Amino acid sequence: MPEGHSIHRYARLHRRTFAGHRLRVSSPQGRFSEGASDLDGRVLETVDATGKHLFYRWGGGRTLHVHLGLFGRFTTFDANPPEPTAGTRLAFRSSEATLYLAGPTICDLIDPAEEAAIRDRLGPDPLAGDSPDRLVQALARRRIGIGAALLDQRVMAGIGNVYRAEFLFLVGIHPDVPAREVPHDDTRLLWDLAVAHMRRGERSGRIVTVDPGELGARRRSDLAAHERLYVYHREGEPCRRCGTEITRHELAGRAVWWCPRCQPAP
């Protein structure tokens, strides 16, 4: 679930639901007990996101840093929440809503220096109104494939495995093309696609890259994952544009998909 669009969406939803409220905070699982007791009874002032990182800002100058990693998930309940699962690291509760967090890679209180260090490691975020200049510069410096470069959060913050595959298809670039050989115009196009698609993903909560004209009359919400995307998880299926079989390959431990005809090998 969690690519940058989901993270920014969580920031917005959690801000709307919990900001301005004095919260009861606990760690049912026990692995965030100290932090939870520090936060318990404080007011959550605001929530913001950069790339895939969430920052919850509390009265008393506390900042909670959350990174969902691959498995992390939030669940929210209006009232009468069920018992938390054994893996529930963090629970917030206002008088009207409850939030559970399970499986995050990171859930820690941090100080301003630690936050600065996190931000220093992040490239431009398409959802933060950043300029693509740093993306252009970062790609120009790398000999690794563009596919590998796009998952590096120092290159571009917030892209994950789904968007990587889809954006490369939309730009028509093979993942193995060396990053520094990608024409600047294509890099700009990649950025513009990222801004447009991730904004849409932030609003809808799902990734739909297929052009509406190609979706037919079916409602987006009815579509299965492989119907909303051009290449991700579609190995062996025909390319929507040219009919060629989509290919899958392992790249630095993560799978990547592409159309061999629309995205010719370097």
Partner DNA sequence: GCTGCATGATGAA
Partner DNA sequence: TCATCCTGCAGCA
Rounded to whole angstroms, the Cα distance separating 112 from 73 reads 25
Told to judge if 3 belongs to the known catalytic residues of this protein, a careful annotator would answer yes
Residue 30 engages DNA in binding (rule: CB under 7 A): no
Contacts 24+ apart (CB under 8 A), 105-108: 105/67, 105/68, 105/69, 105/70, 105/71, 105/72, 106/65, 106/66, 106/67, 106/69, 107/32, 107/35, 107/64, 107/65, 107/66, 108/32, 108/35, 108/64, 108/65
Rounded to whole angstroms, the Cα distance separating 127 from 214 reads 26
Closest by alpha carbon to 90, among 163, 49, 40? 40
Interface with DNA (CB under 7 A), residue from 36, 207, 208, 262? 207
Told to judge if 83 belongs to the known catalytic residues of this protein, a careful annotator would answer no
CB closer to DNA, 21 vs 67:
67
Residue 202 engages DNA in binding (rule: CB under 7 A): no
Residue 87 engages DNA in binding (rule: CB under 7 A): yes
Rounded to whole angstroms, the Cα distance separating 53 from 64 reads 10
Residue 119 engages DNA in binding (rule: CB under 7 A): no
Residue 50 engages DNA in binding (rule: CB under 7 A): no
Kindly name the residue from 9, 15, 28, 52 that is annotated as catalytic. Answer: 52
Residue 208 engages DNA in binding (rule: CB under 7 A): no
Told to judge if 115 belongs to the known catalytic residues of this protein, a careful annotator would answer no
Closest by alpha carbon to 191, among 215, 162, 158, 161? 158
Residue 121 engages DNA in binding (rule: CB under 7 A): yes
Residue 70 engages DNA in binding (rule: CB under 7 A): yes
CB closer to DNA, 49 vs 189:
49
Interacting residues toward DNA by CB under 7 A: 1-3, 6, 29, 31, 51-52, 67-73, 85-89, 102-105, 121, 151, 153, 160-162, 207, 225, 233, 252-255
Positions marked catalytic = 2-3, 52, 254
